[in-house]
Amino acid sequence: MPISPLDFKIIPPVIGHRGACAYAPENTLASFFKAKQLGVKWVELDIQMTADQELVVFHDDEISRTTNGHGRIQDHPLSYLKSLDAGSWFHPKFSGEKIPTLQEVIAFFQEQDLAVNIEIKAQSTDPKIMADKIVGMISENLKKKIFPFFISSFDTAILKQVKKANPALPIAHLADQWSDDWQEICDELDCIAFDLNYKTVTEEKVQEVLATNRLVLAYTVNDPAIAARLFSWGVSGVFSDCPDKIIAVLSS
């Protein structure tokens, strides 16, 4: 059974961005484990679909920045992607770290009691196929054990397909820039939150969103002073590469 959007009122103020990607290779199990060790309750990750329609956790369209492979995620089968080293680029001690599948990380989060923001990256593949796969996988896992989550994307076409596949799943609108149609999009998708690039956030904008009974989350905030200012404006949570630094300020 999906969790109620009301549960997001208890979303903690710090969400580990791609795990704790200042300390471990982004979007790997090592990064999510590090976030857990740092006391983080929620993590964010990015998902994409492989050429053989498997869901993997990966940020870039192209794989060469964070693996020893080349080409686009969507052009390779899972077997090839699993053969790559997704850790050495960050530090030799992470050599052998693999690109995880969405299923692997969900199982890990259920075991570790971590909550997750699943961000869907846009691809040139059919958004309906991807949305159906994601919703199917989440639903199957929820039958085994409830885990708090919400889904976001810069791509509203895919969020519409997610909503169609299961209207009860919590969704956040994600945008790099403020645009005047934000409320229309949030209303149509029944969004629980509006996630914004912190550079585009102002106190007035935060108040405008809060007035529609939605949370404002801001990315990517690594400076505790900036986080403190955003919180004072009513921002509910920030995505951070170094979540421990923000947690430290909150508890001081």
Q: How far apart are CA 86 and CA 42, in angstroms?
A: 22
- Residue 34 interacts, among Mg ion, ligand G3P, none and using kind-specific CB cut-offs from 5 to 8 Å, with none
Least Å distance, CB 246 to ligand G3P, is 15
Q: Which of 14, 23, 25, 44 binds ligand G3P (CB under 6 A)?
A: 44
Closest by alpha carbon to 190, among 163, 166, 208? 163
Q: Which two tokens stand for residue 234?
A: 């009513």
Least Å distance, CB 174 to Mg ion, is 8
Q: Cα–Cα distances in Å, from 12 out to 62, 87, 210?
A: 32, 28, 16
Instruction: Evaluate whether 67 touches 100 at the Cβ level (below 8 Å).
Output: no
Which residue, 106 or 217, is less far from ligand G3P as judged by CB? 217
Q: Is 219 in the site for ligand G3P (CB under 6 A)?
A: yes
Least Å distance, CB 152 to ligand G3P, is 6
- Residue 194 interacts, among ligand G3P, Mg ion, none and using kind-specific CB cut-offs from 5 to 8 Å, with none
Q: How far apart are CA 133 and CA 135, in angstroms?
A: 6
Closest by alpha carbon to 173, among 147, 154, 150, 157? 154
Q: Which of residues 43-82 bind Mg ion (CB under 5 A)?
A: 46
Residue 76 falls in the annotated catalytic set? no
Q: Is 156 in the site for ligand G3P (CB under 6 A)?
A: no
Active site residues: 17, 59
